[in-house]
Amino acid sequence: MAVITTTGGNGADHSPAESKLVVNLMHFARALRVAGLPIGPGKVLDAVNAIRAVGVGNRGDFYWALHAVFVNRHDQHEVFDQAFHIFWRDPKILERLMGMSMPDLEPGSAPPEEPPMRRVQDAFRPDSEEKSEGEGGDKGEKDEEETEYDSVMTASSRELLHGMDFDEMSAEEVARAKAAIARMRLPIQLVKMRRFRPDPRRARIDMRATLRSALRSGGATIPLKWKRRSQRPPPLVILCDISGSMSRYSRMLLHFMHAVSNDRSRVHVFLFGTRLTNITRHLRERDIDLALAKVSEAAEDWSGGTRIGAALHEFNTHWGRRVLGQGAVMLLISDGLDRDAGRGLEIEMERLHKSCRRLIWLNPLLRFEGFQPKSQGIQAILPHVDEFRPVHNLESLDQLIAALNRPAGRRLEGASEWLKMM
Amino acid sequence: MTQPIPQSVEATLELLAKGNYVADRSLATALYLALKMGRPLFLEGEAGTGKTEIGKVLAETLGRKLIRLQCYEGLDVSSAVYEWNYSAQMIEIRIAEAAGSRDRSEMEQGVFSERFLIKRPILQALEPDPIRGAPVLLIDELDRTDEPFEAFLLEILSDFQVTIPEIGTVKAKEPPIVVITSNRTREIHDAIKRRCFYFWVDYPDAKREMEILKVRAPGAAEGLAKQVVAFVQKLRGEDLFKLPGVAETIDWTNALIQLDKLDLDPQTINSTLGILLKYQDDIEKIQGSEAARLLQQVKTDLAAGG
C-alpha cells in the first residue's frame, strides 16, 4: 500500500530503479518493525522523501538519512545498525524472510523454523508464545481466584491474613493476599507545581479569568477570580532485591509493584540480584500474569546472590539522572544481606540518597523483634536512608501507604532510631 | 543577509563549518533533512556535547533570528506562548467606562486585541519576518519540562499554529526552523519524536575533538592540544559518574592557555581537574595517582604515535 501512495503523486517521472528502491525501503521498514522499532506507514513515506533529498550516491549519507527517519531513541541504534547492514548488503535474505513472516499473505502460518536473522526471531517469538499461554490457562485461573476471594473471605479471616507473614502463607492465602494487593492504591504526598489551576478559596488572583468576567458585565464591576498552584504526585522509583534470601517476598512484592505501576504515571521499577534489570515496561502490561511472565523472562538472576553495591552503581551511572529528576520518591526493597559484604555500597548509597527527594528502605527482616542492624550491608545502607520500614505482610504495606501519604518530615527522620542502635 | 537553506549534505557541512562548528557527516545529514523537509531536528545526548550550539550556529550562519525557549518544570502557556498585559487592560476598561462606552462587544474587542498581547517565544517564532525570513526556534532541554507541555507542543510542531481563544488561530506563513535538545534526564514521548528527525549527539573521537579544539581554542599549542584531547579521551574510558563533554575540554584548554602551559603535568591536572569533572566523587577518584597514571599513558602513546 505504501508503494502505491508514494509513487502515485508524481509517478510519471520515476525510473524503474527508483520504484525498486521504494519497494526495498518498504521491505526494510517492515523488517525494522518486526524487529521491534515503532514504524508506521508515515515513516516509510518520510524515508522515500529523505532518500530523494539526499540521493543514493553516498552509502554513509544513505545510512544516516534512514537513521534520522527510523530511529527515535538512542537504544534503537543497535537494531537499526544490524538490520541496515544485513538488509542492504543482500536484500534477498530479508526477502526470503519476509515471505515467511508477512502475516497478511499467509494467515495462520507458523513462525519460521530457522529465520536467518536472530534479532527478528527474538522480536516476535516470545510475544506470540506468551499470548497463547496467557489466553489459555491463566485467565480462567484468575477468575477462579477472584470468585473464591469474594465468597470465602470474611472479615475475621481478612484480619488474620492481614497480619500474616508472606513467608508463612499457604498457596491459597497467597492468592488472597495477591487479590488484596491488586486493590491497593498508593497516594503519595503531592508536590506543588509551578502551574496554576482555578480555585475559589482565595489563594491568588487569576487576572485572566477576572478580566474576562469583568467584560461579561460590561466593565462596571470586576468580580475577582482565584487560582492556586496545581499539585501532582512525584515520580516513584522502586528498586527491588530478587536474590535468594528475598525470593518469597520479592515475588509477592511484584504484585504490589504491578498494582502501583498501573495505578499511576511516572513509576519506574528495577530488579536487582547480581545485575540490574529495568522492568518498567513489562509491568505496564495490564494483565498481572502476562506482566509477571514478561518480568521473569527479563530478569535472569532470580534467587541468586546479591551484589547490592554493583547493582546500585549501575543504577547510579545509567539510570539515576534519567529517572530521579523532578523530585522522585525512591523505595529500596532489600534485606541488606550483601554477598560483597558491603564493599563499595556506602558510596553508592550516598550518591543515591543525594539524587532523590526521599529514600525509603523496606526490609522484611524488620519483622523479627530483636532485629539489630549489625550486618555490614545494613550498616552501609542505613545512614543514607530517610525512612526504614518493615515489609513482610499486608499490614506493613498498608502502613507504607499511610507513610507515603504523610507530609515528608526532615530527611533521615524515619531512620534515626535505628541509627542509634548501630 | 538571509542565506538560503543548503541544498546538499556537503553544503550543510560547509555552513556549519562557517559558524565554527565541527560536525560529523552523520549530523549534517540529519540537519540537512530537517531543513529540507521542514521538520524539527531532535538532538539528544549527554550534557556538553554541543547540542544547543547547533541551534545558535544555524541562526547565525543562515542570518535568521534566534528565538530560544529554555524549558523548566511547570513551564506553561503564559510564559512559553503568550500572556495578556493585565494592567494595561484594566486601564483600558476604566477609560472606556469614563468615556461612557457601554458596547460590550466593542469593548471586548478592544481589550483583547493584539495591542495587549505579550508575545512569548513560541508565538514570536510563528510571526513572519519579512527581512530575515523564518526564525530558528531553539527549544532547549525539553526533558526538564513535564508531559502536559510536551502534549501542547504537538500541535505547534505539526501544524506550526497556536490557538488564542480571544483572538483566533495564529498560523506561521513560513514555518520556523525548529531545533529541540534533550539531556535525557527522562524519556521524551514518542509522539514528539515521531514528528522530528532524531539524532544522538555522541562524544567526538580524538580526531574530531582535535579539530574542534583548533577552531574553539586556537591559542593552544599543538602539543598541548594533543595531550589534552588524549587525556580527555582516556578519562571517558574511566568509570565516572559524569564524563567530561566537549564543552569541558574547551574550557580546560582555555584555562591551560591562561596558565601559560605548553605541556601537561600532574600538578596542573590536579589543580584544574574541577573544570573537567563536576562531581566530588569523580574528582577524588582521578586526582593524584590515577591522574598521573593516565598522563603517563598519554605521553607514552603520543611518543609512540609520533
Please judge whether B186 and A325 are an interchain contact, meaning their C-beta atoms are less than 8 angstroms apart: yes
Last residue within a domain, chosen from A59, A81, A98: A98
- Identify whether residues A407 and A338 lie together within a single domain: yes
The answer to whether residue A103 sits within a structural domain is no
The mean pLDDT of chain B is 90
Compare CB distances from B185 to A61, A207, A322 and report the shortest one's residue.
Answer: A322
User: What phi and psi values does residue B6 have, to the nearest 5 degrees?
Assistant: -60, 150
Q: A335 versus B56: which is more confidently predicted?
A: B56
Same domain, yes or no: A228 and A263: no
CB atoms A193 and B74 under 8 Å: yes
Q: What is the mean pLDDT of residues B177-185?
A: 92
Q: What is the pLDDT of residue A105?
A: 35
Chain A residues close to B97, C-beta within 8 Å: 219-220
A304 plus A316 within the same structural domain: yes
Which chain B residue is nearest to residue A348, measuring alpha carbons? Answer: B281
Give the end of a domain, one of A232, A260, A291: A232
| Lowest-confidence pick of A43-47, A150-154, B121-125 | A150-154
Number of domains in chain A: 3
CATH assignment of the domain containing A249: 3.40.50.410
Residue among B33, B89, B96 whose CB faces A68 most closely: B33
Query: pTM, whole model, 2 decimals?
Result: 0.74
CA A114, CA A100: separation in Å to the nearest integer? 10
Asked if A53 lies within 8 A of B93 by C-beta distance, the reply is no
Residue A5 has pLDDT above 80, yes or no: no
CA geometry: angle at A280 spanning A253 and A330, to 5°? 65
Is residue A374 in a domain? yes
The distance of A246 to chain B (nearest Cα, Å) reads: 29
Q: In the predicted model, is pLDDT for residue B274 greater than 80?
A: yes
Q: In terms of C-beta distances under 8 Å and separation of at least 24 residues, what long-range contacts does B16-21 make, across chains too?
A: B16/B54, B16/B57, B16/B61, B18/B61, B19/B57, B19/B58, B19/B60, B19/B61, B20/B57, B20/B215, B20/B216, B21/B50, B21/B53, B21/B54, B21/B57
> Mean pLDDT over residues A169-173, rounded?
69
Whether residue A193 and residue B73 make contact (CB cut-off 8 A), yes or no, is: yes
Q: How confident is the model at residue A315 (pLDDT cuts 50, 70, 90)?
A: very high
The torsion of the CA quartet A233, A239, A240, A244, rounded to 10 degrees, works out to: -170
Is A27 within a domain? yes
Shared-domain flag, residues A362 and A242:
yes
Shared-domain flag, residues A268 and A385: yes
Assigned domain for A128 exists:
no
Its ipTM equals 0.73
Of A413 and B303, the one with more pLDDT? B303
Q: Are residues A220 and A268 in the same domain?
A: no
Same domain for A300 and A202? no
Residue A88 in this model has a pLDDT that exceeds 50: yes
What's phi and psi for B270, nearest 5 deg?
-60, -40
Q: Which three cell numbers stand for residue A362?
A: 523496606
Confidence label for A219 from pLDDT (cuts 50, 70 and 90): low
Residue A269 maps to a domain: yes
Which residues in chain A touch residue B200, judged by CB atoms under 8 angstroms apart? 71, 74, 77
The confidence band for A91, taking pLDDT boundaries of 50, 70 and 90, is: low
Is the domain of A205 the same as that of A247?
A: no
Mutation to test the B interface, candidates A39, A56, A73, most B Cβ within 10 Å: A73
pLDDT for B265: 92
Q: Tell me: the pLDDT tens digits for B185-218?
A: 888 888 899 889 999 999 999 999 999 999 999 9
Inter-chain touch B198–A325, beta carbons under 8 Å: no
pLDDT band for A174, please (50, 70, 90 cuts).
Answer: confident
Give Cβ neighbours of residue A241 (< 8 Å, ≥ 6 apart).
A250, A271, A272, A273, A306, A308, A333, A334, A335
> pLDDT category, B74, cuts 50, 70, 90?
confident
Res A116 pLDDT > 60: no
Residue A61 has its nearest CB partner, among B29, B78, B89, at B29
- Examine the pLDDT at A157 and tell me if it is beyond 70: no
pLDDT, tens digit, 9 for 90 and up, residues A29-44 = 988 888 888 888 888 9
- B198 Cβ under 8 Å from any chain A Cβ: yes
> A228 and A315 share a domain?
no
Do A403 and A284 lie in one domain? The reply is yes
Cβ contact A73–B198 (<8 Å): yes
Residue of A211, A229, A278, A349 to mutate, interface with B, max B Cβ within 10 Å: A211
The answer, for B90 touching chain A at a CB cutoff of 8 Å, is: yes
Indicate if the pLDDT at residue A302 is higher than 50.
Answer: yes
Check pLDDT > 50 for residue A100: no
pLDDT band at A309 (very low <50, low <70, confident <90, very high): confident
Residue A224 belongs to domain spanning: 194-232
Edge-to-edge strands, sheet with A204-205: A191-198, A226-232, A204-205
A321 within some domain: yes
**Pairing between strand A226-232 and A191-198?**
antiparallel
Q: A257-297, pLDDT tens digit by residue?
A: 888 888 777 889 999 888 898 998 888 888 888 888 888 88
Q: Note the pLDDT of residue B146.
A: 82
In a domain, A155, yes or no: no
A71 lies in the same domain as A211: no
Q: What is the pLDDT of residues A136-147, one digit of tens each?
A: 334 333 333 333
**Mean pLDDT in residue range B223-234:** 94
pLDDT tens digits for range B47-62 = 889 999 999 999 999 9
A53/B29 Cβ within 8 A: no
User: Domain boundary residue among A98, A114, A142?
Assistant: A98
Asked if pLDDT for residue B14 goes beyond 70, the answer is: yes
For chain A, the average pLDDT equals 74
Give me the total of CB pairs closer than 8 Å, taking one residue from chain A and one from chain B.
Answer: 118
On whether residue A158 sits in a domain, the answer given is no
Q: What is the mean pLDDT of residues A52-70?
A: 88
Could you give the CA distance from residue A282 to residue A295 in angstroms, rounded to a whole number? Answer: 6
Task: Say what the pLDDT of residue A118 is.
Answer: 44
Residues A255 and A215 grouped into a single domain: no
Q: Do A207 and B200 count as a contact with CB atoms less than 8 A apart?
A: no
Tell me which range, A336-340, B73-77, B253-257, is most confidently predicted by mean pLDDT: B253-257
Instruction: Give B155's pLDDT tier (boundaries 50, 70, 90).
Output: confident
